[in-house]
Amino acid sequence: MKRFTAACGVVLIAASCQHPEKEKETVTWESRGDTVEVPATAPLAAKLSLYTVVEKPYQLQLLTAGIVKAIPNNYAEIAPPFAGRVVKSYVRLGERVSAGAPLFAISSPDFYAAQKAWFQASQLCQQAVLAQRRQQDLHRHGVGAARDLEEANTNLAVQRQELENAAAALKVFNVNPQHQMLGEPLIVRAPIAGEVISNKLVTGQFIKADDGPVAVVAQLAQVWIAGLVKEKDLRFMHEGDAVNMQVAALPDTTFSGTVFHVGRTIDETTRAADVLMLCNNPEHQLKPGMYASVHFKDAPEKVLTVPAKAVLQENNYSYVLAAIKPGTYVRRKIVTGETTEQQVVVRSGLQPGDKIIGEGAFYLSAVK
């Protein structure tokens, strides 16, 4: 047993018989194993205050950085289907368009060749139909050879297939072969409804097939926030969880969203997974490319929390000093969780109603 003596001191005054020596009362506190006793008369007792452990609502929050991105299904880059000259532009930057709306017209030898191939295949198919009908009629009246009818049937099947192939080449460009004129330019149409957020079209310019997008149509009423979450924090991520986010351009505005998708793989370098958050953006304040600070919120739960000052550390474990009776405290090992607002979440080791030293525990941290 170790005894720690706090002597309040002996005050010596000049060797004069008129001022006798005064001795203040000596106070002690003791430690036996994991138990500490602090008498009520000890000066240290006044520095200790108790805290009653209670359950409180708690919602875990994590912070990460993210980038605003357009949702792929709501974003379309329109590139020229082939080399040609822009003969007309139908849209302006910022204009809202519906799906199928004309964006620009382009005249191209390649498109003309595709049109010509369809018209030629259509004429040959019509001729094959007439020839096949004539052979059928001759065969029905007994004046035609069966071999001639068979050849007519084969030729018709071939010409129909050629016509389908030529039509397919035009339908790739969203062109109805039945509603076109030979030599007219190709009308490139918007694949989705949205806003024209990029427009590089200039009437009369010649563009190459590999020049890249000349216009971009996007729906930005909803956007994705793409972030990274560390491997150790993934257990707190659930699809559908609420998130709040802010961007530097609008520091006083908080945007709400939900976790849309948690990545299924971990990057070996960053030890993090991709997480996509879906965020409403009705006023288009969030713009693709912006950086965002994202606050994840876990599902609410009731947990035990204690003041951060109450938690002491010994080697590889945490503990608190629990009161078992007035002036007597015992070490209680605990498993801690997250820390928030000077409170530490206790996952195990304590029960509601337990009393611990909430203030001044560090004075006894060296006692054992």
pLDDT at res. 159: 93
Please answer whether residues 227 and 275 qualify as being in contact, where contact means their C-beta atoms are separated by less than 8 angstroms: yes
Would you state the structure tokens that stand for residue 326, as one six-digit string? 């007035």
pLDDT at res. 15: 36
Would you state the structure tokens that stand for residue 364, as one six-digit string? 């006894």
What is the block-wise mean pLDDT of the chain (368 residues), using blocks of 10 residues? 36 38 52 85 87 85 89 92 91 92 91 90 94 89 85 93 90 82 89 93 89 92 92 84 90 91 92 93 92 82 89 90 91 87 88 92 73
Please answer whether residues 358 and 51 qualify as being in contact, where contact means their C-beta atoms are separated by less than 8 angstroms: yes
The reported pTM is 0.60
Pick 63-73+218-301's CATH classification: 3.40.50.300, 2.40.30.170, 2.30.30.240, 3.30.565.10.
Answer: 2.40.30.170
Q: How many CB atoms lie within 10 A of CB 162?
A: 18
Q: What is the residue extent of each domain of the chain? A: 29-56+302-364, 63-73+218-301, 109-184
Cα(58)–Cα(63) distance, integer angstroms: 16
Cα(109)–Cα(115) distance, integer angstroms: 10
Cα(300)–Cα(339) distance, integer angstroms: 15
The phi, psi pair for 121, rounded to 5°, reads -65, -35
pLDDT at res. 29: 66
pLDDT at res. 367: 53
122 DSSP 8-state letter: H
Cα(160)–Cα(129) distance, integer angstroms: 9
C-alpha dist (Å) from residue 82 to 19, 186, 212: 112, 10, 11
Region 29-56+302-364: CATH code: 2.40.420.20
Q: How many CB atoms lie within 10 A of CB 350?
A: 19
pLDDT at res. 233: 84
